[in-house]
Structure 1
Amino acid sequence: MVQRLQYSGGTRLLLTPNHSLSWRANVRIWLALCSLSLTIAGLMSLAGAWLVLPFAGLELAALATALYLTARACRRQEVLTITPHQLQLEKGLYHKQAEWKLPRPYTRVCLRQPHTPVAAPRMFLVFREQEVALANFLNTEDAQALISILRSCGLAIDTPAPTAPALWL
């Protein structure tokens, strides 16, 4: 998601991945799947297939791990501040973990087209030899919205020419 924040010195954008479920909703879904899976595994173990129980437990542990890692990754955020003289990008999970300050007149946004037609273009802030990935978690619509905001702020955006797909015969 791309959100404009109130900032008097220029433009400030909050960039976050889309997350449709809260942590509570993820836990509720996991508990519902646990009750269903353990009921089926319990009935099968009563029928003599007791070996189903440990595998059901492993499956539920793997699902819990996947839900946790996905929910944690959806908590990342980036704050891009655009002032007349500087671009400041802050990245972090629960607090600021990394920060870049780049001179605005000499920094450009480089777009790299994805290999698949449904993926969003990857964006980088480029200054001299330094490349900083910008919001690589955005979907296609949010990436296009960010590109249009960056264009309206007057940033130079490099879009490489599309290459024809290779044909393998």
Structure 2
Amino acid sequence: MVEHLNSQDGVRLLLTPNRSLSWRGNVQIWLALLALSALIATGMALAGAWVIVPFAGLELAALAAGIYLTSRACQRREVLTIGECNIHLEKGRTRKLTEWTLPRPYVRVHLDAPVHPFAPPKLALIHRDTEISLGSFLNVDDTERLVQLLESRGIVIERKTPDPEIGLWF
């Protein structure tokens, strides 16, 4: 998702992945699946198939780990501030983990077009030898919106199309 934030320094954008459900919603779904699995495992154990119980527990533990890792990955944030002289990028989850300040006149945005039509293009901020990925978690529509916003602010976009020799298996 691409959101505008209030800023006195220039244009400030908040980039976040799309989240279909909150952490609380994920936990509620897991609890519902826990209840259903416990009901089925109890019935199977009473019928004599007690070996089902540990496998149901392993399945629920794997599901909980998957929900946790996915929910954590969906908390990533990037804040891009485009000022008069500088471009400032901050990355993190709940707090800022890394940040870069690059001189605006010398920054380019490198846009690699995807091989597959449903995949989003890859964006990177480039200044000399520094290449920083930008919005790697954005979907196709959000990436196009970000590119339009950057172009409207005068940022140079270098577009690269995939080689025609590349096959479908990459």
Whether TM-score is above 0.5 comes out as: yes
For residues 136 and 64 of structure 2, what CA distance do their matches in structure 1 show?
25
Partner of 1:32: 32
Partner of 1:99: 99
Matches within 5 A, 1:47-58: 47-58=47-58
The AA in structure 2 aligned to 1:97 is L
The AA in structure 2 aligned to 1:104 is R
For residues 18 and 161 of structure 1, what CA distance do their matches in structure 2 show?
26
The AA in structure 2 aligned to 1:51 is V
Per mean C-alpha deviation after superposition, the further-off stretch among 76-85 and 113-122 is 113-122
1:74 pairs with 2:78: no
User: Cα distance, 1:167 vs. partner?
Assistant: 6.0
Q: Partner of 1:159: helix, strand, or coil?
A: strand
The AA in structure 2 aligned to 1:116 is H
Matches within 5 A, 1:54-133: 54-133=54-133
For residues 129 and 167 of structure 1, what CA distance do their matches in structure 2 show?
30
Provide structure 2 residue ranges, at least 5 long, that are not aligned to the other structure: none
Per mean C-alpha deviation after superposition, the further-off stretch among 89-98 and 159-168 is 159-168
For residues 79 and 61 of structure 1, what CA distance do their matches in structure 2 show?
34
Q: Partner of 2:160: helix, strand, or coil?
A: coil
TM-score normalised by length of structure 1? 0.95
- Are the structure 2 counterparts of residues 148 and 61 from structure 1 closer, same or farther at C-alpha, using a change threshold of 3 Å? same
- How many pairs does the alignment contain? 168
For residues 73 and 167 of structure 1, what CA distance do their matches in structure 2 show?
30
Q: Percent identity?
A: 53
Are 2:9 and 2:83, in contact at CA under 8 Å, matched by a contact in 1? yes
User: Cα distance, 1:53 vs. partner?
Assistant: 0.3
Are 2:41 and 2:53, in contact at CA under 8 Å, matched by a contact in 1? yes
Partner of 1:136: 136
Partner of 2:148: 148
User: Cα distance, 1:166 vs. partner?
Assistant: 4.1
Q: Partner of 2:64: helix, strand, or coil?
A: helix
- Are the structure 2 counterparts of residues 83 and 166 from structure 1 closer, same or farther at C-alpha, using a change threshold of 3 Å? closer
1:111-152 CA distance string (max 9 Å, x none): 112232211111000001110010100000000000000000
Q: Partner of 1:138: helix, strand, or coil?
A: coil
TM-score normalised by length of structure 2? 0.95
Q: Partner of 2:89: helix, strand, or coil?
A: strand
User: Cα distance, 1:34 vs. partner?
Assistant: 0.5
Q: Partner of 2:143: helix, strand, or coil?
A: helix
